[in-house]
Each structure stands twice: as C-alpha cells, then as structure tokens.
Amino acid sequence: MAKEAVFTLKLEPELRDAFMAAAAAADRPASQIVREFMRDYVRQDREYVEFLRRKVEKARASIAAGRVYTDEEVRERMKARFEEWERKDREAGR
C-alpha cells in the first residue's frame, strides 16, 4: 500500500525516546510499528462494534420472545445463585 499521508503528533520526549529505543531494539522502523498499532486499533474497534451489535440483537430477540425479568426477579435469581455457590463451597470445605 502506498504511504502518502503524514501523521504528526505531540508526545512527551521521554515517551518518544523510549519508543524509539524499543523499536531499534526490535530492529524495526518506528513508523511500521505505529502503523501496526493503528491497524490493530481500527480492527479492534470494528470487532467491538460488531460484538455489541450482536449482543443488542440477541437482547431484542429475547424481549420479543417475552424473556424479560424485572429488577426484583433478577436480584432474586442472582441471590439464589450465590447461595448455591456458597453451599457448594461449604460442602467442598472451602
């Protein structure tokens, strides 16, 4: 891919020096590492947005199917779950 854009940023001299030293120790150009950071960040952002979209879709399907609980019902279910875990821990001697 042709590299035609220039990206300028301000940062602390100590951070720049440490980054440049780490890049040199890895025998890699700093610009290559920054490009990889940027690609990873953009990819992760897209993946996270897709993850959230799937969760919302699943929640909407649950609501449409009538699988909804009040706050009180959720609290009761969680309390029962915690009590069950505590009972199992006691039985296991923990």
**Which tokens go with 42?**
């953009």
- 11-69: pLDDT as tens digits: 999 999 999 999 999 999 999 999 999 999 988 989 999 999 999 999 999 999 999 99
In-domain check, residue 2 = no
**Which tokens go with 25?**
């120790």
The three-state secondary structure class of 32 is helix
Q: In whole angstroms, what is the distance from residue 26 CA to residue 31 CA?
A: 13
Q: Containing domain of residue 37, as a range?
A: 27-91
Q: Provide the number of structural domains found in the chain.
A: 1
In-domain check, residue 22 = no
Q: Considering the entire predicted model, what is its pTM?
A: 0.52
Q: How far is CA 27 from the centre of its chain?
A: 29
